[in-house]
Structure formats: C-alpha cells, structure tokens
Amino acid sequence: MNLGLGGKRALVTGGSSGIGLATVRLLLEDGAQVALCGRDADRLDAAAAPLRERFGDAVLPVVCDVRDEAAVSAMQGRVFDAFGGLDILVANAGQGRIGTFADTDDAAWRDEFDLKFFSVIRPVRAFLPALKESGAGSIVAVNSLLARQPEPHMVCTAALRAGVQNLVKSMSIEFAPDRVRVNAILLGLIYSGQWQRRYEARSDPAQSLEDWMAALAEEKQLPLGRLGTPEEAASAVVYLASPAAAYISGAALEVSGGISRFA
Ligand SMILES: NC(=O)c1ccc[n+]([C@@H]2O[C@H](COP(=O)([O-])OP(=O)(O)OC[C@H]3O[C@@H](n4cnc5c(N)ncnc54)[C@H](OP(=O)(O)O)[C@@H]3O)[C@@H](O)[C@H]2O)c1
C-alpha cells in the first residue's frame, strides 16, 4: 500500500529506541524526511548512525528532553533549518510509572503529569504553526490502553493517560479547521525498551526471553498469545500519520493484541 509519505517532513519524539525508532525507520522507508529526538546523546547517535548511512540527510537526530521548553524551541529551529517546516509530529517520548495509589506521592504525581502532558503540549505548541502551514498536518500521540482500562499497579500513569486522550480529542476539534488531524494509538504490551528492561531484571536469570514472554502472555491473558513488536505499533502510527488516513481525526486505534475488555 502506498501511504503517500514521499516528501513529507516528520518529527518523532523518543525516536532513539523501541516504537519511536521503528516509526522513524518506517517513515524513512516510505520516503519521508525524519527528525528524531531523545535525551541520551549516545543512544540517539547509535540509533541514527545506521539510518544516516542509508538515508543521508533525510535523518536528523536532535538531543532534546521534551519536558524542557527551551530544548524543544531549539529543536524546532534545527528542524526548520534542515527541513523548512513539518507535516507530521509523532508524540511518542516517555515511559510508564509502576505504582499503586498508596505508593504514589505528590512529587511522583507532578513528575508523571509533567511527562505525560508536556511531552505532548510542548512539541505541539512549537510545531503547530508549521503543521497548519503544511495544509495536511498530522499529529499522532502514542498512548496506552491504560487510558481506558486502568490497572491497579499503574494508577498514576493510567489517570494521566486518560487525560491525554481527552486532550487529543480537544486538539482534533480545535485544529481541524486548519487541516491538522490529531489521532492516538492505544498500546497494550509491546516488547520494546520498558519490557526489555523488565526482562533483564527478571527474578530467574536462567529464564529465556521466549519463556519469559510466554509466561507474561499467559499471566496477562493476551488473546493473541504474545506481546506486540515495535514494528507492529509503528505501522499503526505511520498509517494514522499518513495521507492514507486523510479522513481520520480524533480517533484512537488500539494496538493491543485484543486485550481490551470494553466494547
Ligand atoms: N512498550 C509498551 O508496552 C508501551 C505500552 C504503553 C505505552 N507505551 C508508550 O510508548 C512510548 C514508547 O515506548 P517504548 O516502549 O518504545 O519505550 P523505549 O524503548 O524506552 O523508548 C522510549 C523513548 O523515549 C525517549 N524519551 C523518554 N523520555 C524522554 C523525554 N523526556 N524527552 C525525550 N525523549 C524521551 C527515550 O530516549 P531517552 O531515554 O534517551 O530520552 C526513548 O527514545 C512511550 O511513551 C511509552 O510510555 C509503551
């Protein structure tokens, strides 16, 4: 399927690992120019180097913490200098926080609020004029199924994910007259950075990745019997970002292997 991404200019926040990096790769393979950011310069360089070899100046790595307004503004300057504007923004940077209500203090609530909301708000604010100018701008927020189906061990993250989903809907309505679409994907369990770190910290070091994943799929009752891959999540992001989804805005696409329990 031709998604019509040739000549599009994209930014993927948190593009140095996992789902973000898979999204960067798919966008480049479909002909887009892609900026990617992360906080850790070494990790970003390691991710971008092979892509630059293959796609040259179409790849723009920028060190940036998306919670930092000045850093996001500097990133905007770099992207505009290199690409002259932006058509696609993928707000993907972040991670989940494990914790019940009882063990989440005020500082943790504030930190999580800062990450979940400002990782969307700051890049959107910085790039919205360019997305409007594009005439076919598109924003995709990488969110979690927790937004609709909270889990007792991720209380704070789930509550804020729900708020972000509400924000996505509001933005989709507000930006529609300027032809900027806003959508989200709602992820279940995708085997990328967060799960890799949990595998590495497993209680039984002799347990293979395959056995660990099978046990997790069983424990979480994943209907498709396995975790998703970063590429499977990225395909959904790229589709929603692309002209192939030109009449889709305000939507939430589940990428969860069928784990949701709501109709
Ligand atoms: N994997 C899942 O099962 C799952 C489920 C639900 C939601 N999600 C969400 O999907 C997104 C991608 O997760 P992933 O699984 O692909 O995790 P990952 O492999 O750990 O990737 C996270 C990326 O975000 C970057 N990042 C984190 N905080 C950042 C910040 N403040 N500013 C800029 N970049 C930042 C990381 O780079 P640096 O650390 O170098 O900054 C990295 O590139 C996250 O928002 C995550 O919460 C994932």
pTM over 0.85: yes
**Closest protein CA for atom 15 of ligand 1:** 192
Nearest to 234 by CA among 175, 199, 191: 191
CA–centroid distance, 254 to ligand 1, in Å, is 18
Along the chain (263 residues), what's the average pLDDT of each consecutive run of 10 residues? 91 98 98 98 98 98 98 98 98 96 98 98 98 98 98 97 98 98 98 89 92 92 94 98 98 96 88
Phi–psi pair at 258, nearest 5 degrees: 85, 25
Mutation to probe ligand 1, out of 11, 39, 115, 235 (largest number of atoms < 8 A from CB): 39
Task: Report the alpha-carbon distance of residue 155 to residue 254 in Å, rounded.
Answer: 20
Ligand 1 atom at shortest distance from the alpha carbon of 146: 6
**Closest protein CA for atom 32 of ligand 1:** 65
Q: Return the CATH superfamily for domain 9-190+229-255.
A: NAD(P)-binding Rossmann-like Domain (3.40.50.720)
Sequence ranges of the chain with CATH classification 3.40.50.720: 9-190+229-255
> What residue ranges line ligand 1, CB within 6 angstroms?
13-14, 16-20, 37-40, 43, 64-67, 92-96, 142, 144, 187, 189-190, 192-195, 230
Ligand 1 atom at shortest distance from the alpha carbon of 228: 3
Ligand 1 atom at shortest distance from the alpha carbon of 94: 45
Place of tokens 């770099």: 78
pLDDT reported for residue 1: 63
216: which residues sit within 8 A by CB, 6+ positions away?
A: 189, 195, 222, 227
Q: Are 68 and 44 in contact (CB under 8 A)?
A: no
pLDDT reported for residue 263: 86
Nearest to 90 by CA among 175, 7, 9: 9
